Amino acid sequence: MNPRHRLTVPFAAVLAGSAFAASAAEEVNLYSARHYDSDEALYQAFTEQTGIEVNLLEGESDQLIERIQREGVASPADVMITVDAGRLWRAEQDGIFQSVESDVLDERLPEAMRHPEGKWFGFSQRVRAIVYNPENIDPSEITSYEDLADPRFEGEVCIRSSNNIYNQSLLASMIEHHGAEAAEEWAQGIVDNMARDPEGGDTDQIKAVAAGECDLAVANHYYYVRLLESEDAAEREVAEKVDILFPNQDDRGTHVNVGGAGVVEGAPNRENAIRFLEFLASDEAQEIFAAGNYEFPVVEGVKMSETLESWGEFKKDDLNVSILGENNPEAIRIFDRVGWR
């Protein structure tokens, strides 16, 4: 992958001074909490199109936020990219992002995918779907997230911990649509219906349905597609034992979250950073997002993987994703009160 600089936070932390000591004449310094090899194609395409070199530093979202704060005005960071509106909101609250005005981003990205003040933008969509055992569950019985809390599904739901940002954002959306009191009743219903204590990631929830530990689970759609498209026959078998549905088609639409990015406050290469964000909204970049990690593009009409195309059109919640971050603290308090561990 030369000549790109690729550093992880633990390694880079021991270096003195800038993480990007060997700089190009035209560059953009990217701090990324996305850990997908397919993103390398994004950076290569941007460099080929613009001549601007991408210097990449990878780490967990909280690590990157802390690093930028520690570096202060001397930080070389131009762009921070991460997943989930909750994490983007946390970075925003910590003063990581600056406001950006861009006609390209305003025209290309739906309003729901843009921070109201231009502090960050969503470039890929992650749908929180319901996975079910088709032998035991009639999909007509489970048409909404709200149904998961129905007492008739007691002992049948597998779901991740409340520490998981995806679940925090799902509950944040429930707060916005129904109010905190109703959202807490829903969360309590989920706890009452859990087949087991929360454990593992989204893939583990899907595997639990396939293994008969539960009949219903909540998972981001691409975890299911990864299993379905896996080269491992055992993983494909897991996907073939379950099915997936997109809830709330009769009302607000299925909950959507984002992979997003913003320009860092004090970015030394601000114009290059904005050009990078504008590139991420291009058809070329949107296709790479869709193909590389099976995420949905945010720009209409962009080519997707065959599996995503086969699902056809479905209604997505058009709630502005910045609200998911704003409601995050209340979501965490609700989880604590209902005992969702």
Q: Is the pLDDT at 67 greater than 50, yes or no?
A: yes
Structural tokens at position 216: 């219903």
Cα dihedral 51→108→313→310 (10° resolution): -10
Cβ atoms of 7 and 19 within 8 Å: the answer is: yes
**Band of the pLDDT at 86, cuts 50, 70, 90?**
confident
Query: How crowded is residue 143: how many other Cβ atoms within 10 Å of its Cβ?
Result: 16
Q: Is the pLDDT at 122 greater than 80, yes or no?
A: yes
Which tens digits make up the pLDDT trace of 295-312?
A: 999 999 998 988 999 999
Burial tier of 254 (Cβ tally within 10 Å: 0-12, 13-18, 19+): buried
- What mean pLDDT, rounded, does the chain reach? 91
Domains of the chain: 6-125+256-309 (3.40.190.10), 127-254+322-338 (3.40.190.10)
Instruction: Give the β-pairing of 79-83 and 27-32.
Output: parallel
Q: Is the pLDDT at 15 greater than 50, yes or no?
A: no
Mean pLDDT of 111-124: 95
Q: Whole-angstrom Cα distance, residue 88 to residue 82? A: 7
Predicted TM-score of the model (pTM): 0.88
Which tens digits make up the pLDDT trace of 267-285?
A: 999 999 999 999 999 999 9
Which tens digits make up the pLDDT trace of 151-186?
A: 999 999 999 999 999 999 999 999 999 999 999 999
Q: Is the pLDDT at 36 greater than 80, yes or no?
A: no
Q: Whole-angstrom Cα distance, residue 341 to residue 338? A: 9
Structural tokens at position 105: 């981003």
Which tens digits make up the pLDDT trace of 203-247?
A: 999 999 999 999 999 999 999 999 999 999 999 999 999 999 999
